[in-house]
Amino acid sequence: MQASSFELDGSFGRNQVAAGGALIDRIRDALSSLTTSLPPKDEFLRIVAEAYDKYVAPIDIPGVPNLVEPWVDSALKAIVLQQVSRIYDNFAAN
């Protein structure tokens, strides 16, 4: 599985928070459609982090000054990775 597996289609209207949610949805769908065993969690989270950096982080957050935006990006990425980790754990437990 590669970060390109999670490419977003833009239906989130250039909203970074919505894009993060769309990425989480794509990940949930990818995990539920796996017919093989899950990849190791650390590898999977690395792939998700790469996908976030490639598809979500470049989106400008309207109303957030560029000086502050890196901190907001970091916080949103942490939230996405936390949620993906929980989703992974849920699938791994079943």
27-61, pLDDT tens digit by residue?
778 777 777 778 899 999 999 999 999 888 888 88
Say which residue, 29 or 18, is predicted with more confidence.
Answer: 29
Say if residues 65 and 17 touch (Cβ distance below 8 Å).
no
Nearest to 87 by CA among 36, 3, 23, 35: 23
What residues does each domain of the chain span? 3-93
CB count within 10 Å of CB 91 equals: 13
Predicted TM-score (pTM) of this structure: 0.65
